[in-house]
Structure 1
């Protein structure tokens, strides 16, 4: 079987892999928005920057380029259009992964272009399997899946720039390519802050090429300045936007980076049972998807890979180390976080496939296994979720609110679930749509308590998380809730829905019997 696969035109394999990566994410185009996607959409729609508030009505710890992308996407095709953007990005990622592998072999001195093309094709197949696997996330369009195509593309064009310099080709195209690599590497962080692999890889291969006397000091400086110039473009644009709109630079910095240290303290102060369970799940997915074997393969066969090219080996290991450390330090361990490891997997797979012995053959078999597992997982997920077994309770509740509420009503959901707020079509007067920012920036719920006791109290309040959660965090708000609100039904999952006292609204009907579409109501 593998022998027959090796005879297929590599260009066809790459093209089909890219198409598969897009098509296998197609079911997600019809699935209701998740909490993060809905939250980003709400933030984008209410985006009014202020000196001490990056986005205005709502608070989120994400960079402006991500919210800007969501805003533009929403304006073009509605809130679900970002899923199409992510699907097309997955296809572009596959093409970039294949091109990166070819450039890596070119840098390593491989003169057999057919062999380099086959290596790129196998790398493309593995990349498609990882980005569309239901074990990770074939649906949600979040910063990780949106940003990694930029990271891998920065690998590709950065290596092209370096290869041109090594081969003593004209400087100007190499400088332009280096600038493009720097721009994309930094822009990826504008979609998710921890996507630094492009910068790590670029710096490592540049310094390594100089240490190994592949380029001169002058060339190192020129390419570095080109990459720096490109990287300063998105940074300058973001800072310039903030200053133009009167946003304090401290406000920008804290939302993008400073918040994470405070949030990590909150995460570590709480029970670690749930994060530990998710961490074990991530480890299991990394093994089942084949990603863990690819990453470990470079260490296991380090001598063969080193003989192939020491510079690429060091750069790849640096990327894997930084991305793995970033994942561990996240503390939350949600499944989409595994996408951040994909750039490192691409580099590792290319190195293993480039070794002309049994290592490459074993890696090919591993790629085939990863494809089979990915397709099986995606098929099971598609059948299960599209058979209507478990329609999302939050979306149904939001649609029920939309049917029962009046236009000027507002809603607060204690426990996150911004998709409920978006589906309801109502505004939330509480700035925190996610639980981690709430627990970090309103740790005693004083802001929420003042809201419930004040004149702008929400019309609806949904206690999605029990008051006993997070060490009884909700205790301060319960007196105001019980005094000013009346129980007005519950969600399909039994979460109580409260209505402000004195208001009259129809009975809430979340259609728990399955009537209506979870998307359309």
Structure 2
């Protein structure tokens, strides 16, 4: 069995990185997705006060991600964040290769040529996984923005140990925690660096003071992204309890709501996620890594422990997410890429081994490497086919009906009109150009913070009632609690206008003149972002 041929390893790394960048082309073809639109609306109306981190709207994300969205929007408009995410993906692939090369030289003691080959294959698997359209190559979310930081933190941690550098260790801690500021569950960089440092220290007791110095530096670096929002909150007048609940405390309450309101759609997404993890090759690589965990731990104990811990923590975070959106799989790409690197590092050289071992064991290790490379090729082919399928679906008439619906409402609206989208579709809200007097742009915060819909009921009956009301989903989708009141108020104060795009019921405050919605829902989406109206 011969090796699967590649161009020169360093050229392969750049080809993989550029391919991952080009795989983001769907992001230049589709309007803002719900999370992107919601983050943008929050960023554009950001007005902190004592009882609210962001002012008019609530979102359970750290200030760092909203600040980044606001900065990108200010520099290049609503789609600048996608450009930033695409460049970050390119950087992620390059960092994955650099980290794999570091693993190969530091842990595996491989030659430069072998290390370059490991880096090349790792770049290919990183690009294949992150560039799969089934996972998400359209939107720019915290996961996409955070994985370059996670991988960068891993590379810095390895470099800090190799050079015994406190400054690099500080940067590793800082970078790892910055990723958490973009998505709270992205703790993989912290886990990898912590296990790597502790494991190395345990195996090198005479230098324990040196490792303690590195640990202190990493801790200081990690504290910076924690302290900065606290200082900002004190300056902006935001109560620290409000900041804590927004970033940390909301999640347990939301999980309780998800547990109390089981949903068939969530169960279906969970099954789809498992199928997608298999179809991309991600779960196959994880299973292959776990199958060889014992021999890897014998050969590379510290690095295997660090990658295993990172993979386990990230997998648990995805499994406990409760909602199982496909984008969550992006979080697993860094540890899966590093697990692949370890499998390749453990493969023997083609020449005579430095440490003689029985031929059957050596042949087995070579077979493991060959199969690993075969799985990597599968991930790349899966990525290419997914992009072809995505393009075919779009050309076949797949349309952004949420954008069309919001656009139609915006065209019919008058100055000063407001809109509430029940069920949380911020992309409809954004496309309409109308402000929402209701603070919940997502369904889960609505279900968690307004469980009996009393806040929404008071709004509909009060002086600030929205001009427009859209049922993105049925009122009783999650619970019947409070929905009868909402239904009665819609009947009393609102008139039914139409079911826009054949999907979403639209209501308008009763008036002498019944508004008319003219949508282009039947028009194919062929012009990409050029089809957007100003």
Q: How does 1:248-267 map to 2 (within 5 A)?
A: 248-267=239-258
Q: 1:442 to 1:321 in 2, by over 3 A?
A: same
Which residue in 2 is equivalent to 1:170?
none
Question: How far apart in 1 are the matches of 2:49 and 2:213?
Answer: 39
Counterpart of 2:329 (choices 335, 338, 351) is: 338
Q: How does 1:12-23 map to 2 (within 5 A)?
A: 12-23=11-22
Residues 174 and 225 of structure 2 are in contact (CA less than 8 Å); yes or no, is this contact kept in structure 1? yes
Deviations 1:389-412 (A, max 9, x none): 121211001111121111211000
Question: Is 1:182 equivalent to 2:181 in the alignment?
Answer: no
Question: How far apart in 1 are the matches of 2:391 and 2:230?
Answer: 42
Residues 106 and 163 of structure 1 are in contact (CA less than 8 Å); yes or no, is this contact kept in structure 2? no
Question: How far apart in 1 are the matches of 2:250 and 2:502?
Answer: 32
Q: 1:514 to 1:249 in 2, by over 3 A?
A: same
TM-fit CA distance, 1:301: 1.1
Which residue in 2 is equivalent to 1:154?
153
Question: How far apart in 2 are the matches of 1:103 and 1:48?
Answer: 45
Q: 1:494 to 1:278 in 2, by over 3 A?
A: closer
Which residue in 2 is equivalent to 1:440?
448
Q: 1:324 to 1:350 in 2, by over 3 A?
A: same
Residues 209 and 215 of structure 1 are in contact (CA less than 8 Å); yes or no, is this contact kept in structure 2? no
Q: How does 1:81-96 map to 2 (within 5 A)?
A: 81-96=80-95
Residues 41 and 430 of structure 2 are in contact (CA less than 8 Å); yes or no, is this contact kept in structure 1? yes
Which residue in 2 is equivalent to 1:5?
5
TM-fit CA distance, 1:503: 6.2
TM-fit CA distance, 1:109: 4.2
Q: How does 1:167-178 map to 2 (within 5 A)?
A: 174-178=165-169
Deviations 1:443-469 (A, max 9, x none): 001110010000010110111211231
Question: How far apart in 2 are the matches of 1:243 and 1:105?
Answer: 46
Q: 1:415 to 1:221 in 2, by over 3 A?
A: same
Which residue in 2 is equivalent to 1:492?
501
Counterpart of 1:430 (choices 427, 438, 447) is: 438
Counterpart of 1:235 (choices 215, 226, 233) is: 226
| Gap runs ≥5 in structure 1 | 166-173
Residues 210 and 217 of structure 1 are in contact (CA less than 8 Å); yes or no, is this contact kept in structure 2? yes
Q: How does 1:192-341 map to 2 (within 5 A)?
A: 192-213=183-204, 216-341=207-332
Residues 497 and 515 of structure 2 are in contact (CA less than 8 Å); yes or no, is this contact kept in structure 1? no
Which residue in 2 is equivalent to 1:383?
392
Residues 405 and 505 of structure 1 are in contact (CA less than 8 Å); yes or no, is this contact kept in structure 2? no
Secondary structure (helix, strand or coil) at the match of 2:169 reads helix
Question: How far apart in 1 are the matches of 2:205 and 2:26?
Answer: 47
Residues 102 and 116 of structure 1 are in contact (CA less than 8 Å); yes or no, is this contact kept in structure 2? yes
Residues 90 and 145 of structure 1 are in contact (CA less than 8 Å); yes or no, is this contact kept in structure 2? yes
Range that drifts further, 306-315 or 115-124 = 306-315
Question: How far apart in 2 are the matches of 1:32 and 1:5?
Answer: 39
Counterpart of 1:404 (choices 395, 412, 415) is: 412
Counterpart of 1:371 (choices 371, 380, 394) is: 380
TM-fit CA distance, 1:383: 2.1
Q: How does 1:463-482 map to 2 (within 5 A)?
A: 463-473=471-481, 474-482=483-491
TM-fit CA distance, 1:214: 7.4
Which residue in 2 is equivalent to 1:455?
463
Question: Is 1:115 equivalent to 2:114 in the alignment?
Answer: yes
Q: 1:208 to 1:495 in 2, by over 3 A?
A: same
Q: 1:506 to 1:467 in 2, by over 3 A?
A: closer
Which residue in 2 is equivalent to 1:171?
none
Residues 444 and 476 of structure 1 are in contact (CA less than 8 Å); yes or no, is this contact kept in structure 2? no
Residues 493 and 509 of structure 2 are in contact (CA less than 8 Å); yes or no, is this contact kept in structure 1? yes
Residues 152 and 198 of structure 1 are in contact (CA less than 8 Å); yes or no, is this contact kept in structure 2? yes
Residues 135 and 377 of structure 1 are in contact (CA less than 8 Å); yes or no, is this contact kept in structure 2? yes
Question: How far apart in 1 are the matches of 2:151 and 2:263?
Answer: 33
TM-fit CA distance, 1:27: 2.1
TM-score by length of 2: 0.93
Deviations 1:261-318 (A, max 9, x none): 0000100111242222111111111111111121122221123312331001111111
Which residue in 1 is equivalent to 2:362?
none
TM-fit CA distance, 1:472: 2.3
Secondary structure (helix, strand or coil) at the match of 1:190 reads helix
